[in-house]
Amino acid sequence: MPYFNYPVIFDVLVVGGGHAGCEAALAAAGLGMKTLLLTQDLDTIAQMSCNPSIGGVGKGQIVREIDALGGRMAAVADLSALSAHMLNTSRGAAVRSPRVQCDKRMYQSAMKHSLELAGNLALAQDEAAQIWTEGSALRGVITARNTRYRSKTVILTTGTFLKGVIHIGLSSFRGGRYNHPPSDGLSPSLEALGFKLGRLKTGTPMRLNGRSIDFSKCEEQKPDEPPPPLSHFTGRHGRKLLSCWITRTGERSAGIIRANLHRSPLYSGRIKAAGPRYCPSIEDKIVKFPHHPTHILFLEPEGFDTGEYYVNGLSTSLPEEVQLELLHSVNGLERAELIRAAYAIEYDYSLPVQLDYNLEAKLLPGLFMAGQINGTTGYEEAAAQGLMAGINASLKVRGGDPFILGRDEAYIGVMIDDLISKGVDEPYRIFTSRAEFRLLLRQDNADLRLMPHGFRLGLIPGKFKKNFERYQNAVERSGSRREPQKHGAEKRPQRADDDMAPWTRAGAEACGRITKEYGGYITRNLREAERMKHFEHVRIPEKLDLSAVKGLCLESRQQFLKIRPRTLAQAARIPGVTPADIQLLWVHVTRKLRPPQADGVSRRDEG
Ligand SMILES: Cc1cc2nc3c(=O)[nH]c(=O)nc-3n(C[C@H](O)[C@H](O)[C@H](O)COP(=O)(O)OP(=O)(O)OC[C@H]3O[C@@H](n4cnc5c(N)ncnc54)[C@H](O)[C@@H]3O)c2cc1C
């Protein structure tokens, strides 16, 4: 079949309309790039494949960072919020995190509408089947319907769809998500270009009809009052929010799982790929924690206009009849109607060590990757990478320097550095423990840390600048004030003050108080971060022959050749690399970087 050559040359072409793709497309279009978002199905834009919630520990910090850089996720989550909580309020400031439960459909349509309204952005429904190259140069993509889209840069954000296979009990079938076709063409196309792919697994719990749940046997979890917004630009939530409910599995549930383990694709060996250890299926929890008599389950509404409930904590790939028996063994769920079965999915991902700090492929300049294709899991992780890839593809087109965030600046910086330096052996999600400077990277100061970048890049409207500066000053004043502030200021209704809106005085006081309370630790973190920066500045030239470094142990040599670190600091973070090998590499690099000496005669003269 002959090609149809689409009559526009794009600056940035984004493949996939999931959480990474939406942020990538909006960022590129916002930076003035002629952008195309190409996705398999426009009706599934920003679909939440699993739990319709945004934020959580570590993730809440990332969403506020996305927002501070001009991303859309936090505002859309607030707009569609049906329940909201600040987690860990009784613990240290570094781990306090906002989480919002969303109306799933409302989230999707609000994000789709943002895309439809964005200037410079075109949408198209088709499947990218091949990366289009000529010689060693990227040209764009070729779709399943044989359309050739030409673009200066391409961002792949294909999520769980590459060669996706779904498992329910011992039956398996192809799919990128339940009832959605997988994407089979891109994997061979990437492999033909020399990319190494791996396989990962994730899973989702069952959904119930709410009318069949006996809520009188469950514990109510009311939304926070006032609900904490995710976006710096959201005022008060206008709608009355809903409660979530708590129940638990018991001895009978454990017995049902043990009796049916041989029917689980996980335990029968049918699923081979690694899943997230920190988010285990219920069969994993029963097998690995036999001394726990119960496991907590959260029943979370999926929308205002639906009775569907998500059973958080009951992810499984056991056969459907076992799922039903298991549900009926739980307090309050004795008569529960199972309306969507839980399932597991295996899919291809591209080894993220093949990317540079700007998320561009080292093998094929102009090709960027973001989201689950890089081995991560989670909407927030995907959106953050999408935003960074969108910004960096645009900067590449403009001929500007890449936009890279440090590990001491943002969780986004921690995540990208982890991915490209260490790679993944299970789906990667962000935790506060992944950051060495987590007191610097709090949810309450994401705007102070990153909004100046948002203004500079042009992704945050300049009209907010004055009020932001007033807020910065108010935080500083409140952090240096002598008298202790009363705790719980952040729990007071946060009315925006006109000269500071959308920021509030209560918010400034809360942030200033934390800075003061943790002053000693924060100073220590800052000092350590400064020390690390020294190594960040020692760049390893791209063409340097790393096999020529003498005396390295075999593992370090192999890791250096595989990952090709860009800085000495990145080399030091690679797993298996010893401090002694870093010294050797340092000596080698500085020797190579030294300007050529004058000839032997002049050196003898100096002596
Ligand atoms: C069953 C399941 C369970 C999950 N469980 C969890 C969980 O417990 N916790 C958690 O944090 N995350 C979970 N996730 C992961 C979460 O859904 C993803 O991390 C997140 O959606 C990734 O965002 P993304 O933008 O990278 O990809 P996705 O949201 O998957 O979006 C990819 C988009 O790309 C499109 N696409 C794919 N290939 C092509 C192509 N060739 N051409 C055009 N368009 C294409 C798809 O149609 C889709 O719109 C789960 C996902 C699934 C499927």
Cα of 202 to ligand 1 centre, how many Å? Answer: 10
Count CA within 13 A, CB hemisphere, residue 574: 24
158 touches ligand 1 (CB under 6 Å): yes
Count of Cβ atoms closer than 10 Å to residue 607 Cβ: 4
* Co-location of 521 and 552 in the same domain: no
143 touches ligand 1 (CB under 6 Å): no
Mean pLDDT computed over every residue of the chain: 91
CATH classification at residue 300: 2.40.30.260
Among 299, 297, 301, 298, which Cα is nearest to 239's? Answer: 301
Rounded average pLDDT over 48-61: 95
Give the C-alpha separation, 573 to 32, whole Å: 36
Which residue among 377, 385, 419, 424 has the greatest number of ligand 1 atoms within 8 angstroms of its CB, and so is best to mutate? 377
Separation in Å, CA 384 to CA 149, 278, 344, 351, 414: 26, 21, 25, 18, 11
Question: Contact at 8 Å (CB) between 299 and 213?
Answer: yes
16 touches ligand 1 (CB under 6 Å): yes
Cα of 85 to ligand 1 centre, how many Å? Answer: 25
Residue nearest atom 12 of ligand 1, based on CA coordinates: 378
Structural domain boundaries enclosing 569: 537-593
246 or 432, which is more confident? 246
* Co-location of 500 and 560 in the same domain: no
Shortest-distance atom of ligand 1 to CA 47:
29
Cα of 183 to ligand 1 centre, how many Å? Answer: 12
* Co-location of 218 and 329 in the same domain: yes
How many distinct structural domains can be found in the chain?
3
Band the pLDDT of 225: cuts 50, 70, 90.
confident
Lowest mean pLDDT: which of 183-197, 369-383, 462-476, 547-561? 547-561
Residue where the block lists tokens 């987690």: 87
* Co-location of 471 and 340 in the same domain: no
Which residue among 44, 157, 282, 388 has the greatest number of ligand 1 atoms within 8 angstroms of its CB, and so is best to mutate? 157
366 touches ligand 1 (CB under 6 Å): no
Instruction: Look at residue 295 in the predicted model and tell me its pLDDT.
Output: 94
Please give the single-letter amino acid code of residue 373: I
Last residue of a domain, one of 300, 315, 344: 344
Band the pLDDT of 607: cuts 50, 70, 90.
very low
For residue 323, tell me if it sits in a domain.
Answer: yes
* Co-location of 308 and 264 in the same domain: yes
Cα of 213 to ligand 1 centre, how many Å? Answer: 29
Distance of CA 515 to the CA centre of its chain: 27
Question: Contact at 8 Å (CB) between 138 and 15?
Answer: no
* Co-location of 337 and 211 in the same domain: yes
Last residue of a domain, one of 344, 362, 382: 344
Task: Convert the pLDDT of each residue in 107-160 to its tens digit.
Answer: 999 999 999 999 999 999 999 999 999 999 999 999 999 999 999 999 999 999
Residue nearest atom 51 of ligand 1, based on CA coordinates: 49
Band the pLDDT of 450: cuts 50, 70, 90.
very high
Give percent above pLDDT 90 in the chain: 70
